[in-house]
């Protein structure tokens, strides 16, 4: 049996083509399921031998000293949003007999590329990527060589690939419509840096909700930038000060929300707040924090399951899965507008 | 120049021995620092060539298609305690020109071993391990072959190795002494499963503080088990119910504390709480949650720096670094004992 080497890994589809049978038949033979005639089975087995095909979950036994593995490229190891996502990917990997290796791009496109290619060089079977880059053509040779790749949280750039996203614009629209329904007209958006896909989509949702209600958006109500506490504090001071302060804040992710909660706790006048992303203990704060909750565990699980479907040889056009956000009203988003101080 | 292969990586110490010079001299030559005579430099360079020694941070340029990397074996990707620890390890790795690959043992000893050995097989230069296992002899061949290994958060088992810990018993003693100083006598400890090193050390600190104050510990005040919300809720119901409920809780880690905060928020009678581990927004809850704060970023940074010292060829006896915990009083730990209901 030829050794399976990175760059020449045959798929179930290759086996099916060589044996002149359907994919389901190959799957039945590989998994020892009934319903295949001895003749067909012999033909499939002969194609398997000729191509050196190995099912992913037996690779760890066959490759001496190696274990099956997949790689995960995150944006930030320290952002709690990615913790349940990582754990879900790992659980699916484990259920499929694979180890997970994770690393972080720290939001630097070159670093994402370096990390993804380093994982490929270490012969992972597949990659789940939270993109920092907007151009993934560097992965085309790896994908052509059989490294399954699924993008999660943000789409792939300039290549066609599986992607699992939250409906960011839809969630943002719902958040802002909720504030408008509670009487707010002067609503600010504080989001991440504008080149980040999710930040752009949430800004789009904010603008759409304002437009739907026939409300103008003053240019200085939109703040896109680093989500560091210092920057968010400064922006909030600007938005809540002056002669025409905003009465509500839509914060674009959990890092912004946590700082906004701190600032608003010190602020005299009540200000409404809806945050994108749920976070631990949001319900125990006073007021509880109203959020658009994503389901990061489901994002990770869906992406990993898609990855293992590809590794099992399922060959179909790249899929785009979009998961809804969920509004959870807890108090902060239901504060009515108060008069300027 | 012979290719550097896993299992035969020479260190600066080897170079120094072969050239008959001190380690500092080798370091000067390698780093291009002054203070070495041309003759000595020639001798060192000749030893470097003969042994195939390569500085870690140039390895990525020399090894075609490979990048320098280190591995991190965590206990749980989804525990926020490990987020700043991971990020600190990654920052030190990056500063040293290395990538970081992280994976989780999910507290299963066999999985820790599988992951650590899989990282070694993928030719990481070194490992930072949060142990799930209490026997690390399986790593001895890897360490002898030059894979630097540093343990963090919990000590290595049955081998002599670098380790970076928090003073868990000391921190627990301080937490419980703080509750005693506020008048409590009936104090419960809810900790992680007893085989976990940190859980055992925190229990020891609890017992020592009670003994120091001459207070008895009723056997049913000590609860060690899974830190799942259901289990912690059930234990709290037991400890806070009955005819002689406890008046204070010392919770053994942030997972327990977060559930305790939820349960106590619903409880009629005020109960004091001190938690081991700080957590985000602990200061914004009402009451603020008093904690013994560890410094997970410093744990990670210290461990990674120790690792790269080893990779730079520093050869000295294994070190044990113990970092102090810090009591942060915020309200929950200063609630006085109230009469039984």
Q: Please tell me the predicted confidence (pLDDT) of residue B35.
A: 80
In this complex, the residue of B67, B87, B114 whose CB is nearest that of residue A114 is B67
Structure confidence by residue, pLDDT tens digits, B214-231: 999 999 999 999 999 999
Its ipTM equals 0.77
Hey, are the CB atoms on B102 and A99 less than 8 Å from each other?
Answer: no
Nearest CA in chain A to B100: A103
Higher pLDDT, residue B315 or A187: A187
B284 in contact with A, Cβ within 8 Å:
yes
Hey, are the CB atoms on A76 and B87 less than 8 Å from each other?
Answer: yes
Give the range among A337-341, B143-147, B199-203 with minimum mean pLDDT.
Answer: A337-341
Average pLDDT, chain B: 89
**What does pTM read for this prediction?**
0.79
Q: Please tell me the predicted confidence (pLDDT) of residue B54.
A: 58
Q: Please tell me the predicted confidence (pLDDT) of residue A315.
A: 84
Q: Please tell me the predicted confidence (pLDDT) of residue B28.
A: 77
Q: Please tell me the predicted confidence (pLDDT) of residue A153.
A: 96
Q: Please tell me the predicted confidence (pLDDT) of residue A58.
A: 35
Q: Please tell me the predicted confidence (pLDDT) of residue B2.
A: 34
Q: Which chain B residues in 109-128 lie under 8 Å from chain A, judged by CB atoms?
A: 114-115, 118-119, 121-123
pLDDT level of residue A36 (50, 70, 90 thresholds): confident
A76 in contact with B, Cβ within 8 Å:
yes
- Mean pLDDT over B266-286 rounds to 95
* CB-based contact B152:B166 (threshold 8 Å): no
Q: Domain ranges in chain A? A: 12-55, 69-166+296-323, 168-295+327-339
Structure confidence by residue, pLDDT tens digits, A145-165: 889 999 999 999 999 999 999
B286 in contact with A, Cβ within 8 Å:
yes
For B182-216, b where at least 16 C-beta lie within 10 A, e where not — what string? bebebbbbbbbeeebbbbbbbbebbbbbbeeeeee
B69 in contact with A, Cβ within 8 Å:
yes
Nearest CA in chain A to B102: A102
Hey, are the CB atoms on A102 and B280 less than 8 Å from each other?
Answer: no
Q: Is A191 helix (H, G, I), strand (E, B) or coil?
A: strand
What is the Cα–Cα distance from B53 to A244, expressed in whole angstroms?
A: 67
User: Taking 90 as the threshold, does the pLDDT of residue B287 lie above it?
Assistant: yes
The CATH number of the domain covering residues in B168-295+327-339: 3.40.50.2300
- A12-55 matches A69-166+296-323 in fold: no
A258 in contact with B, Cβ within 8 Å:
yes
Displacement of CA A110 from its chain's centroid (Å): 19
Q: Please tell me the predicted confidence (pLDDT) of residue B338.
A: 82
A32: Cα within 13 Å, side-chain hemisphere: 0
Q: Please tell me the predicted confidence (pLDDT) of residue A80.
A: 84
CATH architecture of residue range(s) B12-55: Orthogonal Bundle (1.10)
Structure confidence by residue, pLDDT tens digits, B61-77: 333 334 689 999 999 88
Average pLDDT, chain A: 89
User: Taking 90 as the threshold, does the pLDDT of residue B15 lie above it?
Assistant: no
In this complex, the residue of A99, A102, A258 whose CB is nearest that of residue B114 is A99
Q: Please tell me the predicted confidence (pLDDT) of residue A50.
A: 79
CB pairs under 8 A between A and B: 106
Q: Please tell me the predicted confidence (pLDDT) of residue B79.
A: 83
What is the Cα–Cα distance from B160 to B242, expressed in whole angstroms?
A: 47
User: Taking 80 as the threshold, does the pLDDT of residue A79 lie above it?
Assistant: yes
Instruction: Decide if domain A69-166+296-323 falls under CATH 3.40.50.2300.
Output: yes
């Amino acid at each position: 049996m030829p050794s399976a080497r990175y760059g020449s890994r045959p798929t179930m589809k290759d086996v099916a083509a060589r044996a002149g049978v359907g994919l389901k038949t190959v799957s039945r033979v590989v998994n020892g399921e009934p319903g295949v005639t001895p003749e067909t089975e012999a033909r499939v087995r002969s194609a398997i031998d000729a191509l050196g095909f190995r099912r992913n979950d037996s690779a760890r036994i066959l490759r001496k000293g190696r274990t099956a593995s997949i790689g995960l490229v995150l944006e930030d190891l320290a952002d709690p949003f990615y913790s349940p996502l990582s754990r879900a990917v790992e659980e699916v990997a484990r259920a499929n007999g694979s180890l997970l290796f994770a690393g972080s791009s720290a939001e630097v496109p070159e670093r994402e590329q370096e990390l993804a290619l380093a994982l490929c060089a270490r012969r992972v079977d597949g990659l789940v990527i939270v993109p920092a880059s907007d151009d993934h053509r560097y992965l085309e040779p790896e994908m052509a060589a059989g490294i399954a790749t699924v993008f999660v949280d943000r789409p792939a750039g300039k290549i066609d690939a599986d992607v699992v996203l939250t409906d960011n614009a839809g969630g943002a629209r719902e958040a802002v419509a909720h504030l408008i329904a509670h009487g707010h007209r002067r609503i600010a958006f504080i989001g991440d840096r504008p080149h980040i896909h999710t930040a752009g989509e949430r800004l789009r949702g904010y603008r759409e909700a304002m437009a739907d209600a026939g409300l103008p958006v003053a240019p200085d109500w939109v703040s896109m930038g680093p989500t560091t506490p210092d920057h968010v504090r400064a922006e909030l001071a600007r938005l809540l000060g002056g002669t025409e302060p905003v009465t509500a804040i839509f914060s674009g992710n959990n890092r912004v929300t946590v700082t906004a909660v701190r600032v608003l706790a010190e602020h005299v006048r009540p200000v409404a707040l809806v945050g994108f992303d749920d976070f631990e203990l949001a319900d125990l704060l006073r007021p509880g924090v109203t959020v658009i909750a994503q389901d990061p565990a489901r994002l990770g699980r869906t992406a990993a399951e898609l990855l293992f479907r590809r590794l099992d040889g399922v060959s179909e056009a790249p899929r785009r899965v979009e998961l809804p956000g969920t509004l959870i009203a807890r108090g902060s988003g239901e504060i009515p507008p108060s008069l300027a101080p």
